[in-house]
C-alpha cells in the first residue's frame, strides 16, 4: 500500500518532469536547441504567477495561472527570436552554450527583481488546492493529482496536435528536413517560435502547478533538469508519448527510492542522471524513433 | 515517571532542582551574551523577586476580583506609552513576551482588515527579512501570507523602496524593526510609515528588543531615527520589559494608536454554560507575578537609573565593537543602533569560535547565514557586560586563532543526504532517520554545537526548519 501511494505521488512529480520534457522535445525538434534554460523559464514564470495572483486578486488563481502560461510562452518565443533564431546556422554547441547562458541569467534576474522574497522563498496559492484526497488505497493532495492528470492530458493533446494540425505537421516537417520544409514554403522561423512558445508555456504550467507544493525561490526547479532531459531522451528527443511516459515513470521510480531504506533514498536524485547516461550509451532512441525521424536527429548531430 | 507516591521534603525538592541547574548557563555576571538580561543591580533583582512572589497567586483574568493587577497593568502600559512618544488615545496591554505582543499585533491587524477590507481574500504581511520570526509564526498561525522584502546588504536595514514595491491589493500590514534582533539596526521607520500612510496600511513597529533602550540612547547623544508613536502612520508597537527594562521573564507590552484599533485584539465568549470570558491577550488565566515584578522593576530602577544602565551598555557596546574590529579575521556586520552586535569572519568558521568560547565559559549564540548576512556570532550587550569586556576580547582573540583552519568533521555522505533533501517530501520517518544518522546525542550537543550548526548553515532555510522540528520533536520526550 505504501508503495502504491509512493508511486502515485511520484507520478505527480513525474508530471512535472513530463511537462518540462515535452517542452524540451518541442524546442529541440523545431530549432535543434538542447534547452538548458527550461527549468529557469519555469521558475521565472512562477514568479509571474505569484505576482499576478497577489497584485490582481480579481483574476483569481486561474487568471494568474493563465498569465503565467502566457508569460512563459512569450518568454520562450522571445528567447527564440532574440537569441536562438540568430544562432540558427551556428554549430549545435554554440546553441547549447547559449541556452546554458540563459539558464544562468534567468535566476540571476529573479534574484535582482525579487531580492527579499528570494531569500526566504515564497509560499504560493495552489490552483487545485492542497486538500488530501483518499482514493481507497492511497492518499494524495488535490494539487498533486492535478499535476499528474494535467501532464497526461497536455501530453496527449500535444501529440494529437503534432499529428493533425497544420502547424504541428509543419513542425514535424521542419524537424525532419529543414531545407525541404523551407522549399515547400514552411515558415521555419515562425514554426520554431511557436514551438518555443509552447515549450515556455509548458514550463510555466509545470512551475505554477508544482511549486505551490514547495516554495518559490530562484534556485527552484533547477534540480529537475536532469529528470526532464532523461524524459526527453527516452523519447529520443522527438517522441512525445515516450517523453510523457518517461517523465511519469521516472517520478514514480524516484518516489519509491525515497521511501525505501538503506542507500536508496540517497540514490533517488541520481536516477535521472544515470538514466541520461544509460539512454545515451544504449542509444535507446533507435528503438522508439522512426527511421526518418532518427535520420533527422543525426542530421542535427552533423552540425547544421 | 509518575507523581511520587509520597511527596518529597522541601529540602529534597531544592536539592533536586539545584542538581538540575548545574549544567545551565549563567544568568548573571555578564558571561552569557544571549537569552538573559542582567542589569547587574542586585537590589533591583531582589525587589522584582519579592514582588513576583507576592503576586504569584493572583489571576489577572478577572480584574474585578484582583483590581490591583488591573491597576499595575494600566500603570506599566502608561509608562511604556510615555516612553514611546505615545500621546492621548494610545492604549495597550501587558503580555507574556515579545512573541505574544507581535502575535497580537498581527491578529489585531488581520481582524481590523477583515472588518474594514473584507474584499481581501488572501491577506499579506510585508516582512523585511530581518523581521523577527514571531511575525512569520503569527502569519503561520493566523493563515496570513508573509511577503519578505530585501534589506540593505551593508547596513541590514529594511529597504523602504522594496517595501513599497511589495505592496499589493492583498497587503494589510507592514512590519518594521526598532531594532532588528540579528544586527541591532533601526529600520527607516519614517519612510516605511510614509508607505503605510499612502497605501492605507497598518504599520507595526517591533521595539521588543530595542524600544526600551533607544530613547535613552537618544538622551545620551546618539543619533536615533524616529521610530515610535511620534511618527504618523505607526499603528502599533511592541516592547519587551524583560529585556532592557530588566524585568523578570514574562513581561512585554503591545500598544495601539487608539482604542478603535485595539478593540480587534480583544476576545469575548459568552456562548457556553460557564462564566462569560473576556480575554485581552492570548492567555486567559494571566499570572499576576510577571506584571507585579515588571511594575516593581520599573519603579525601583527609575528613569535616571535606566539612563545610567544605558550609558554602561553603550560604553560596553562601543568598546566591544572597537575590540572586535581590531581582531584580525573578524568584522562587525552593519552598524548597530543599540546594543546587539553581530560579527562574522571571512575565513574562520564562526561556529567553532563559539564552541571554543563556550569552553572558556562564554555563551555566544551563533546565527547561520541568511540572504546578505553571513554566518555570524551574536552578542546581546547589557549593563552588566562592561566589566567583562576586556576578558572577553582577550579570549575571543585566542579562540579565533584556535578555531582557524577547523571545519566540519561530519560524515560527508550525511552531508550529501542532507543537501539532497526535498523539503516538500520530507516524511517524519526520513527526518528521524537523518537525525539518527547524524549521531546527534543531546548530551554531547551541550559541549559541541559547531558541527550541527555548520550542517544547518549549509542547508536551505526550509530544510533547516524541517530538521529543527524533527529534532525538537525528539528532544521533548517524556522523561523515563
- For B40-50, write each residue's pLDDT tens digit: 899 999 999 99
Q: What is the DSSP letter of B370?
A: B
On the question of pLDDT at A291 being above 60, the answer is no
Residue of A nearest to B161 (CA): A116
* B11: its cell numbers: 529540602
* Interchain proximity B121–A54, CB inside 8 Å: no
Q: Which residues contact B30 (CB under 8 A, 6 or more apart)?
A: B38, B40, B382, B384, B385, B386, B387, B388
Cis peptide before B179 (omega within 30 of 0): yes
Per-residue confidence (pLDDT) for residue B424, from 0 to 100: 56
* B103: its cell numbers: 502575535
Q: What percent of chain B has pLDDT over 70?
A: 91
Spatial distance between the Cα atoms of B66 and B287, rounded to a whole number of angstroms: 11
Q: Residues of chain B whose C-beta is under 8 A from some C-beta in A?
A: 120-122, 124, 128-129, 145-151, 159, 162, 166, 168-170, 370-372, 413, 416-417, 420, 422-425, 427, 430, 460-462
pLDDT tens for each residue of B60-95: 888 888 999 999 999 999 999 999 999 999 999 999
ipTM of the complex model: 0.74
Q: How far lies B335's CA from each of B110, B124, B129, B186, B322, in Å?
A: 33, 30, 17, 10, 12
Q: Å from B261 to nearest chain A CA? A: 25
Per-residue confidence (pLDDT) for residue A303, from 0 to 100: 39
Q: Which of A55, A119, A266 sits opposite B371 (nearest CB)?
A: A119
* Interchain proximity A116–B129, CB inside 8 Å: yes
Over residues B149-165, mean pLDDT: 95
- Among A120, A222, A271, most B C-beta atoms within 10 A, so best to mutate, is A120
pLDDT tens for each residue of A67-94: 999 999 999 999 999 999 999 888 989 9
CATH for B51-297 is 3.40.640.10
* Interchain proximity A57–B124, CB inside 8 Å: no
Over residues A286-304, mean pLDDT: 53
Q: Looking at chain A, how many residues does it have?
A: 304
Spatial distance between the Cα atoms of B129 and B187, rounded to a whole number of angstroms: 11
Torsion of CA B97, B100, B101, B102, to 10 degrees: 120
- Indicate the range of A181-185, B163-167, B326-330 predicted with least confidence: A181-185
Q: Which residues of A touch B151 (CB under 8 A)?
A: 116
Burial of B17 (0-12, 13-18, 19+ CB in 10 A): exposed
* Interchain proximity B423–A115, CB inside 8 Å: no
Q: What percent of chain B has pLDDT over 90?
A: 75
Q: Residues of chain A whose C-beta is under 8 A from some C-beta in B?
A: 9, 53-57, 115-117, 119-123, 125, 213-215, 217, 219, 255, 258-259, 265-266, 268-269
pLDDT tens for each residue of B120-148: 989 999 999 999 999 999 999 999 999 99
pLDDT tens for each residue of B105-118: 999 999 999 999 99
Over residues A190-205, mean pLDDT: 96
Spatial distance between the Cα atoms of B199 and B164, rounded to a whole number of angstroms: 9
Spatial distance between the Cα atoms of B228 and B216, rounded to a whole number of angstroms: 13
* Interchain proximity B122–A122, CB inside 8 Å: no
Q: Which stretch, A180-194, A239-253, B2-16, B290-304, has highest mean pLDDT?
A: B290-304
Q: What is the DSSP letter of B1?
A: -
Q: Å from A260 to nearest chain B CA? A: 10
Q: Pairing state of beta strands B277-279 and B267-269?
A: antiparallel
The answer to whether B316 and B389 are in contact (CB under 8 A) is yes
- Indicate the range of B233-237, B357-361, B458-462 predicted with least confidence: B458-462
List strands edge to edge, sheet with B366-367: B330-332, B340-345, B376-380, B366-367
Q: Which of A54, A255, A268 sits opposite B124 (nearest CB)?
A: A54
The answer to whether B379 and B340 are in contact (CB under 8 A) is yes
Per-residue confidence (pLDDT) for residue A288, from 0 to 100: 54
Number of CB pairs, chain A paired with chain B, less than 8 A apart: 74
Per-residue confidence (pLDDT) for residue A121, from 0 to 100: 81
Per-residue confidence (pLDDT) for residue A267, from 0 to 100: 83
On the question of pLDDT at B422 being above 80, the answer is no
On the question of pLDDT at B258 being above 60, the answer is yes
Per-residue confidence (pLDDT) for residue A173, from 0 to 100: 86
* Interchain proximity A215–B423, CB inside 8 Å: yes
Q: Is residue B9 within a helix (H) or strand (E), and if so which, with residue range?
A: none
Q: Which of A119, A122, A266 sits opposite B420 (nearest CB)?
A: A266
On the question of pLDDT at A302 being above 50, the answer is no
> Up-side HSE of residue B308: CA atoms within 13 Å toward CB?
9
Residue whose cell numbers read 554531547: B444
* Interchain proximity A116–B162, CB inside 8 Å: yes
Over residues B156-164, mean pLDDT: 96
Q: What is the DSSP letter of B425?
A: G
The answer to whether B257 and B102 are in contact (CB under 8 A) is no
Per-residue confidence (pLDDT) for residue B31, from 0 to 100: 78
Domain(s) labelled CATH 3.90.1150.10 in chain B stretch across 303-403
Pick from B288, B329, B377, B369: nearest CA to B63: B288
Q: Which residues contact B304 (CB under 8 A, 6 or more apart)?
A: none
Over residues A31-54, mean pLDDT: 95
The answer to whether A251 and A227 are in contact (CB under 8 A) is yes
Per-residue confidence (pLDDT) for residue A136, from 0 to 100: 78
- CATH fold, domain B303-403, is 3.90.1150
Over residues B278-291, mean pLDDT: 95
| Whether CATH 1.10.3470 fits A2-129+137-301 | yes
B321 φ, ψ (degrees, to nearest 5)? -65, -45
pLDDT tens for each residue of B386-408: 999 999 999 999 999 999 877 76
Mean pLDDT score of chain B: 91
Over residues B238-243, mean pLDDT: 97
> CA angle A96-A98-A102, nearest 5°?
115
On the question of pLDDT at A290 being above 60, the answer is no
SS3 B219: helix
* Interchain proximity A122–B430, CB inside 8 Å: no
Q: Which of A55, A122, A266 sits opposite B168 (nearest CB)?
A: A55
Q: Å from B162 to nearest chain A CA? A: 8
The pLDDT-based confidence of B432 (bands split at 50, 70, 90) is: low
Per-residue confidence (pLDDT) for residue A98, from 0 to 100: 96
Over residues A161-168, mean pLDDT: 90
The pLDDT-based confidence of B416 (bands split at 50, 70, 90) is: low
Per-residue confidence (pLDDT) for residue A120, from 0 to 100: 76
- Among A116, A139, A211, A252, most B C-beta atoms within 10 A, so best to mutate, is A116
* Interchain proximity A266–B416, CB inside 8 Å: yes
> CA angle A98-A100-A103, nearest 5°?
115
* Interchain proximity B162–A54, CB inside 8 Å: no
Per-residue confidence (pLDDT) for residue A252, from 0 to 100: 93
Which long-range contacts does B212-216 make (Cβ < 8 Å, 24+ apart)? Answer: B212/B83, B212/B239, B212/B240, B212/B241, B212/B243, B212/B244, B212/B245, B212/B306, B213/B244, B213/B310, B213/B313, B213/B338, B213/B339, B214/B178, B214/B179, B214/B186, B214/B337, B214/B338, B215/B83, B215/B84, B216/B306, B216/B307, B216/B310
* Interchain proximity A57–B122, CB inside 8 Å: yes
Burial of B24 (0-12, 13-18, 19+ CB in 10 A): exposed
Q: What percent of chain A has pLDDT over 90?
A: 55
Q: What percent of chain A has pLDDT over 70?
A: 92
How many Cβ atoms sit within 10 Å of the Cβ of residue B232?
13
Higher pLDDT, A279 or A206: A206
Per-residue confidence (pLDDT) for residue B430, from 0 to 100: 61
- Indicate the range of A176-185, B158-167, B263-272, B292-301 predicted with least confidence: A176-185
Amino acid at each position: 500500500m505504501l508503495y502504491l501511494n509512493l508511486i502515485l505521488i511520484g507520478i505527480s512529480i513525474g508530471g512535472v518532469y513530463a511537462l518540462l520534457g515535452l517542452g524540451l522535445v518541442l524546442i529541440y525538434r523545431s530549432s535543434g536547441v538542447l534547452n538548458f534554460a527550461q527549468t529557469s523559464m519555469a521558475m521565472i514564470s512562477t514568479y509571474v504567477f505569484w505576482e499576478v495572483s497577489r497584485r490582481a486578486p480579481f483574476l483569481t488563481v486561474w487568471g494568474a495561472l493563465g498569465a503565467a502560461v502566457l508569460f512563459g510562452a512569450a518568454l520562450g518565443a522571445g528567447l527564440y527570436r532574440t537569441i536562438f533564431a540568430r544562432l540558427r546556422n551556428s554549430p549545435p554547441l554554440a546553441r547549447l552554450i547559449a541556452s546554458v547562458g540563459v539558464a544562468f541569467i534567468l535566476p540571476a534576474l529573479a534574484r535582482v527583481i525579487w531580492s527579499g522574497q528570494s531569500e526566504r522563498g515564497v509560499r504560493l496559492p495552489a490552483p487545485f488546492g492542497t486538500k488530501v484526497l483518499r482514493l481507497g488505497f492511497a492518499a494524495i493532495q488535490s494539487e498533486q493529482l492535478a499535476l499528474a492528470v494535467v501532464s497526461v492530458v497536455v501530453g496527449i493533446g500535444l501529440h494529437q496536435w503534432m499529428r493533425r494540425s497544420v502547424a504541428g505537421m509543419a513542425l514535424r516537417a521542419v524537424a525532419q528536413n529543414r531545407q525541404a520544409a523551407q522549399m515547400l514554403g514552411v515558415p521555419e522561423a515562425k514554426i520554431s517560435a511557436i514551438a518555443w512558445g509552447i515549450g515556455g508555456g509548458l514550463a510555466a504550467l509545470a512551475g505554477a502547478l508544482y511549486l505551490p507544493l514547495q516554495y518559490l525561490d530562484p534556485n527552484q526547479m533547477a534540480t529537475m533538469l536532469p529528470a526532464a532531459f532523461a524524459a526527453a531522451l527516452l523519447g529520443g528527443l522527438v517522441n512525445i508519448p515516450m517523453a510523457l511516459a518517461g517523465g511519469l515513470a521516472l517520478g514514480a521510480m524516484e518516489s519509491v527510492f525515497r521511501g525505501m531504506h538503506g542507500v536508496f533514498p540517497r540514490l533517488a536524485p541520481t536516477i535521472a542522471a544515470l538514466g541520461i547516461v544509460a539512454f545515451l550509451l544504449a542509444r535507446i532512441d533507435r528503438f522508439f524513433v522512426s527511421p526518418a525521424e532518427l535520420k533527422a536527429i543525426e542530421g542535427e548531430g552533423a552540425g547544421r | 515517571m509518575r507523581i511520587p507516591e509520597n511527596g518529597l521534603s522541601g529540602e529534597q525538592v531544592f536539592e533536586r532542582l539545584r542538581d538540575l541547574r548545574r549544567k545551565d548557563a549563567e544568568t548573571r555576571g555578564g558571561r552569557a551574551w544571549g537569552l538573559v538580561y542582567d542589569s547587574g543591580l542586585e537590589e533591583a533583582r531582589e525587589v522584582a523577586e519579592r514582588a513576583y512572589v507576592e503576586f504569584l497567586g493572583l489571576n489577572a483574568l478577572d480584574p474585578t476580583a484582583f483590581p490591583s493587577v488591573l491597576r499595575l497593568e494600566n500603570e506599566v502600559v502608561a509608562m511604556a506609552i510615555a516612553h514611546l512618544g505615545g500621546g492621548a488615545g494610545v492604549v495597550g496591554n501587558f503580555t507574556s513576551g515579545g512573541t505574544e505582543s507581535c502575535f497580537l499585533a498581527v491578529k489585531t491587524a488581520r481582524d481590523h482588515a477583515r472588518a474594514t477590507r473584507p474584499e481581501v481574500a488572501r491577506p499579506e504581511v510585508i516582512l523585511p527579512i530581518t523581521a523577527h520570526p514571531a511575525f512569520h509564526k503569527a502569519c503561520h498561525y493566523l493563515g496570513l501570507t508573509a511577503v519578505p522584502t530585501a534589506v540593505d546588504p551593508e547596513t541590514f536595514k529594511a529597504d523602504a523602496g522594496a517595501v513599497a514595491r511589495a505592496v499589493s491589493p492583498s497587503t494589510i500590514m507592514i512590519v518594521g524593526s526598532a531594532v532588528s534582533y540579528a544586527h541591532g539596526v533601526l529600520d527607516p521607520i519614517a519612510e516605511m510609515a510614509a508607505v503605510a500612510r499612502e497605501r492605507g496600511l497598518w504599520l507595526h513597529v517591533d521595539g521588543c528588543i530595542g524600544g526600551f533602550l533607544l530613547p535613552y540612547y537618544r538622551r545620551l547623544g546618539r543619533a536615533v531615527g524616529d521610530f515610535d508613536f511620534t511618527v504618523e502612520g505607526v499603528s502599533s508597537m511592541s516592547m519587551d520589559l524583560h529585556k532592557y527594562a530588566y524585568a523578570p521573564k514574562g513581561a512585554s507590552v503591545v500598544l495601539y494608536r487608539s482604542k478603535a484599533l485595539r478593540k480587534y485584539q480583544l476576545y469575548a465568549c459568552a456562548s457556553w454554560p460557564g462564566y462569560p470570558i473576556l480575554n485581552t491577550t492570548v492567555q486567559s488565566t494571566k499570572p499576576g507575578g510577571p506584571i507585579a515584578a515588571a511594575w516593581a522593576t520599573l519603579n525601583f530602577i527609575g528613569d535616571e537609573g535606566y539612563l545610567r544602565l544605558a550609558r554602561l551598555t553603550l560604553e560596553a557596546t562601543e568598546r566591544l565593537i572597537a575590540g572586535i574590529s581590531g581582531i584580525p579575521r573578524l568584522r562587525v556586520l552593519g552598524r548597530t543602533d543599540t546594543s546587539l552586535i553581530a560579527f562574522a569572519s571571512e575565513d574562520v568558521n564562526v561556529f567553532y569560535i563559539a564552541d571554543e568560547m563556550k569552553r572558556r565559559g562564554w555563551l555566544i549564540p551563533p546565527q547561520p547565514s541568511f540572504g546578505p548576512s553571513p554566518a555570524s556570532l551574536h552578542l546581546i550587550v547589557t549593563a552588566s557586560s562592561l566589566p567583562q569586556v576586556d576578558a572577553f576580547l582577550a579570549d575571543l582573540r585566542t579562540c579565533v586563532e584556535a578555531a582557524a583552519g577547523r571545519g566540519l568533521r561530519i560524515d560527508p555522505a550525511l552531508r550529501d543526504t542532507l543537501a539532497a533533501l526535498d523539503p516538500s517530501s520530507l516524511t517524519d520517518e526520513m527526518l528521524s532517520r537523518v537525525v539518527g544518522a547524524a549521531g546527534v546525542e543531546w548530551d554531547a550537543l551541550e559541549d559541541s554545537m559547531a558541527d550541527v550548526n555548520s550542517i544547518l548553515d549549509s542547508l536551505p532555510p526550509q530544510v533547516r526548519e524541517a530538521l529543527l522540528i524533527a529534532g525538537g520533536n525528539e528532544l521533548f520526550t517524556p522523561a523515563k
